[in-house]
Amino acid sequence: MTLLHTTRVRRRRLGVAAAAAGLLATLLTAGPAAATPDPGDKAAHKEISSGQAAQDRSAMASGEIPGVDEIVHSDNIEHLTNVPKDALKGTNTDIAFQGKYAYSGNYDGFRIFDISNPKAPKTVAQVLCPGSQNDISVSGDLLFLSTDSSRSDNSCNSTTQPATEKSSWEGMKIFDISDKRNPKYIAAVETACGSHTHTLVPERRDVYIYVSSYSPSAAFPDCQPPHDGISVIKVPRKAPQQARIVNFPVLFPGEGPDGGGNPGSPTNPGVSKTTGCHDITVLPSKDLAAGACMGDGILFSIKDPERPKVIDRVQDNVNFAFWHSATFNQDADKVVFTDELGGGGAATCNEEIGPNRGADGVYDLVGRGDKRKLVFRSYFKIDRHQADAEVCVAHNGSIIPVKGRDIMVQAWYQGGISVWDFTNSSRPKEIAFFERGPVTLDQVTTAGPWSAYYYNGYIYSNDIAKGLDVLKLNDRRTDPAKRVRLHELNVQTQPDYFDRD
């Protein structure tokens, strides 16, 4: 069935939330100490005016926006289940997949689900290990976790500690997940400015990790400016305890204390100064990577994974505030960059902001080899305006593997989940959606899907506040993807869906 396009009331169809049953919760800790959750990325709790609240209530009464916590979706989306948060109460973040398991990051640690029955995921283990964001990925028997908050040490019992203290720790943690019910913390690597996100480049004998981090300060002993590159970690599969930093490639060479990245405001008003990268996506089958780096978008070659080389760089100083993430299409001739306008703490999906700011940017890749260039084609943004109380922002998504089409599912915080087609890179269009109404109308609140990914026939979404959602997409345009099966998926390490060994 296709997405309805008549009136806003008809476009939003009430769905029914289902609670998952049979949960096996095992809270694993590194010791008896209780941990204090770290705050989310600029988590918003801003009071809104009575006038704004009244406008939202009026829109809710007319059916223009859903009611508080009301689930609405297009006809071609089926909401199979929701698994609420359990022992880990912090902000839910990214998801990784392996076989019948999904690995859910959370500011308090991570949770492992058995998703062999997508309608009823079962909790296999919950690991308490605070350290925002706990960006997560897996490879073989290893699980990798980012720590981007200044901690007293590298243990799972650490406490928050100022980054101005030399003894503070941030970086990568490594776990052995050969026993899914009992993950073991086995190694840690400290990295400059911590690890906001990370991306795997999995080789047969080793795993390389590209660590993205930013916001240096002269007052931070372990995060000094200019911080104009990424940390590259090498992890030997047979001896992960020997993991170490092997390079810090400079991506934005330049004179001065801030390197050569986008200078941001006041030179470019409203644009983030580039002091590192937020997220990197690699396409190992094509030896390519795309970096979303605050005020810059970059394309680089990873033929030598220890020494990535920038081959093109673009800026959008009119409509892009913060380059957040990147996604290649399957043919590696397009890249979608997202803009995290408002830093994940503002209501940006409204008429005031408009369709071009806080949107995705669709770029064509033109040329060959190291001569390739990123050429802008269009913006895409959900057109379902959200309440003034709803934090809405372009966030993490993945390709839905359909030969001959470029289709993506994407999280938009309280804007929900959008499935959109950018086969024509100049005319992208939404083909399905799922969302909940506002958490409250009293204040601007950070909630909604952080990540929404397609894996082996289903969409899995990690909702910041509500837990894990599982959706089924029934549409002739995406049905061929149901036949594609992967053994492992870290979305920022994009697979070649149709040309695998």
Positions in the chain whose pLDDT score sits under 50? 1-26, 29-43, 501
What CA–CA distance (Å, rounded) separates 324 from 321?
A: 9
> Do 83 and 121 meet the contact criterion of CB atoms below 8 Å apart?
yes
Distances (CA, A) of 481 to 21, 406, 485: 28, 12, 9
Read off the amino acid at residue 267: T
Token duo for residue 188? 């840690």
- Give which of 351, 375, 346, 348 is closest to 362, Cα–Cα: 375
- Amino acid in position 186: I
pTM of structure:
0.91
Give the number of C-alpha atoms closer than 13 A to the C-alpha of residue 296, restricted to the C-beta side: 24
d(CA 91, CA 282): 26
In the chain, the amino acid numbered 465 is A
Instruction: Report the half-sphere exposure of 49 (CA within 13 A, side-chain side).
Output: 3
Q: How far apart are CA 137 and CA 493, in angstroms?
A: 9
Strand segments, DSSP code E, in 99-196 are 101-106, 109-114, 122-128, 133-139, 142-151, 169-176, 184-190
- All structural domains of the chain, each given as residue ranges with its CATH number in brackets, are 8-73+85-453+475-489 (2.130.10.10)
Q: Which residue has the tokens 């928050």?
A: 160
d(C-alpha 468, C-alpha 499), whole Å: 31
| Structural contact between residues 409 and 398, judged by C-beta atoms closer than 8 angstroms | yes
Number of Cβ within a 10 Å radius of residue 488: 18
Amino acid (one-letter) located at 103? Y
CA atoms within 13 A on the CB side of 258: 11
Question: Three-state DSSP class for 324?
Answer: strand
Give the Cβ contact number of residue 311 at 10 Å: 18
Q: What is the pLDDT of residue 396?
A: 98
